[in-house]
Amino acid sequence: MSGKRTGGRVTSTRSRRDLLVGAGAALGVVAAESLAKVSAVHADNGESVILGQNNNETAATGITNSASQGNGLEVLVVAGNGAGVYGTGAGSGAGIVATGGNASGPGVKAIAGSTNEGGEGGVGVEAKGTGLFPGVSATGGPADGAGVAGFGAGSGVGVSGIGGPANGHGVYGSGTGSSAGVLGVNGASGGPGVQGIGGPGVKGLGTGLDAAGVVGTGEQGGTGVIGYGGVDNGAGVEGFGTEFGPGVHGSSSSASGIGVVAENTVGGTALQVSGRAVFSRSGLATVNAGSKTVVVTGVPLTSSSLVLATLQQVAGGVLVRAVVPDPANSQFTIYLNAAPMTSVAVGWFVVN
């Protein structure tokens, strides 16, 4: 480069190539400074949100959509398996909190994706707890609202639970006070309130002293518990007692009620017993030597009661002559045809 002075000015004689090289160098410096500034920029309070990086704030950021239709915020992930919205709470705070609309709108609404158009897809809501905490915890509204409500589509179930691989329960309910842990209400067309399928379909385990494992209460003339046996001679209801407890226990608190009914409407066997049968309205009465009668007391009777009696030993022609019930005094009298030489035992049994 060279120059010459003309009339007090210095005139450059640089070539076009020199000018282009100098301009390129200047543009490179400007570009480098710009890139350095962009990597350090972030959005703070009062500034616009910048995509692709973290944005810091010390106050909540709100988005209001005043249109009659449309969502407040839409996030779409088009690749990979990333979540649409991800939130992390601090302390005991929730990661994401949603409040439904004032016209009974749901707080959270999730729609599962599908494997293909019209195909079967994933779950609507998926939650995973940590430690011993549940994956989903829900609290009902103050006006006796349900903690969790599920509505099935078509013939689908309202709520489906699958237990953990180490014999975990599919659904677990714990009641408070005298309320039920799980409550099922039958359908409008006579469907069951609770239905269990499997082996066993329903299992109840009582806790505490004398607590029942399963309790069924019928309405008006309805049955509390109904069991249907399998097609290969399966039992409709089967009970197994422990220690001295009964396998099945039936009780009525009404004088006209029936504790257990065994019925066969087509002429088959109504009641079959394998093993000993013990009846509270049966026993032994002793007729003393020289006497022909004995009175058995403390046995509730009705006008339709039948008392059967027979000697439990051979007594030289002595036989039971008759048994006369006395329902008013809850007793009956056994008569012999003759007085025995020694005391004899008479077995008795009350029917009806």
Q: Rounded to an integer, what is the distance from CA 318 to the centroid of its chain?
A: 66
40 pLDDT exceeds 70? Answer: no
CA dist 295 → 177, 287, 336, 342 (Å): 50, 9, 12, 18
18 pLDDT exceeds 60? Answer: no
Mean pLDDT value across the chain:
79
Asked whether the beta carbons of 325 and 305 are under 8 A apart, the reply is yes
- What percentage of the chain reaches a pLDDT higher than 90? 24
Cβ contacts of 83 within 8 Å, gap of 6 or more: 77
Asked whether the beta carbons of 285 and 320 are under 8 A apart, the reply is no
pLDDT per residue over 57-90, tens digit each? 888 888 887 877 778 788 888 787 878 888 888 8
| Summary count for the chain: helices (H), strands (E) | 1, 8
115 pLDDT exceeds 70? Answer: no
- pTM recorded for the entire structure: 0.47
